[in-house]
Amino acid sequence: MIFFHLILFNKDFILSEKLTWTFGSIRDMCWSIGLMSFIIITEINKSLFN
């Protein structure tokens, strides 16, 4: 299995989250101001990271 590192930055380009990503290919992602979280859509599921 191949592991990737996912690094997320906030709107001010400050490191918000760094993690090992094992959930498959990322299809789309965005920052939700209302939820104050990243929304990540993969081939398998949807994830929220705040």
In a domain, 36, yes or no: yes
Task: Reply yes or no on whether the pLDDT at 9 is more than 70.
Answer: yes
Which pLDDT band holds residue 12 (cuts at 50, 70, 90)? very high
What rounded mean pLDDT belongs to the chain? 82
Nearest C-alpha neighbor of 15 from the set 33, 35, 38, 46: 38
In a domain, 18, yes or no: no
In a domain, 5, yes or no: no
**In terms of residue numbers, what domain contains 48?**
23-50
Q: How many domains would you assign to the chain? A: 1
In a domain, 7, yes or no: no
pLDDT in the model for residue 23: 81
Per-residue pLDDT tens over the stretch 15-31: 988 989 888 888 898 88
Per-residue pLDDT tens over the stretch 27-48: 898 888 898 888 888 877 767 6
| Residue 43, phi-psi category: left (phi > 0), alpha (psi -120 to 50), beta (remainder) | alpha
